[in-house]
Structure 1
């Protein structure tokens, strides 16, 4: 992730229309968290992004090293 105010690093997965989507965003001013949002049929499931602190990283600078992320997608859930 890029650190610094105004920087956003994003990873976005988009399916074919009607546009199911999973977004990961690392906001440079908050280097200890990642934000996620997902859409079903082009509609946000929750308008407020979910904020995650991977592996209890609150207060740890995620931009200082590499991290692995994964998505478990089933017919009834996204983890």
Structure 2
């Protein structure tokens, strides 16, 4: 099984903004994909809390979330734990 290339959050935002422009605005895109315009606006403005980009928005872009990476809360800037 080949691995699909992943994209970063910045690319997701670029795609969402372009999709909204193409659809005639955030409200039109949101309505077409069954998500709230507020959620679309919050993602574009960077207000999405600890849960990341909502699954409905990702699905509307033809994307899905993959596991996130985590690091130790005790890591220092040099990468060593305290």
Q: TM-score, normalised by structure 1?
A: 0.22
Higher helix share: 2
Give the greater-gyration-radius structure (CA): 2
- The structure showing larger relative contact order (alpha-carbon pairs under 8 Å, at least 6 residues apart) is 1
Higher strand share: 1
